[in-house]
Amino acid sequence: MEQAIVAAARALGAGLCMGLGAIGPAIGEGNAVGKALEGMARQPEMAGTLRTNMILGCAITETTGIYSLVVALLLMFMGIN
């Protein structure tokens, strides 16, 4: 019974970690891409620079989601059995 509660708490914690950890990158990347597209529409000659900076920013923003995935995997598969 006690192991079932621990397993359920692990699964719940991992799910919350991934759910909440994915919200930030999704909002951040959406805003970044939207603003980059606005900038490209206003100044098409700067499209290459804006695209490069946008991709770099999205890669850095995505690290939050990757860290939450690592934490969720650690919660699920490490610890007391």
Q: What is the CATH number of the domain that holds 47?
A: 1.20.20.10
Q: pLDDT value at position 3? A: 86
Backbone angles phi, psi at 12, to 5 degrees: -65, -45
Tens digit of each residue's pLDDT (9 = 90 or more) over 25-38: 899 899 999 999 99
Q: pLDDT value at position 15? A: 92
Domain that holds residue 57: 2-77
> Averaged over 59-72, what is the pLDDT?
91
Domain count, the chain: 1
pTM above 0.85, yes or no: no
Q: pLDDT value at position 7? A: 87
Q: pLDDT value at position 1? A: 85
Q: Is 22 exposed, middle or buried (0-12, 13-18, 19+ CB in 10 A)?
A: middle
Residue in 69, 42, 37, 73 with CA at minimum distance from that of residue 55: 37
Q: How confident is the model at residue 71 (pLDDT cuts 50, 70, 90)?
A: very high
Number of Cβ atoms within 10 Å of the Cβ of 68: 21
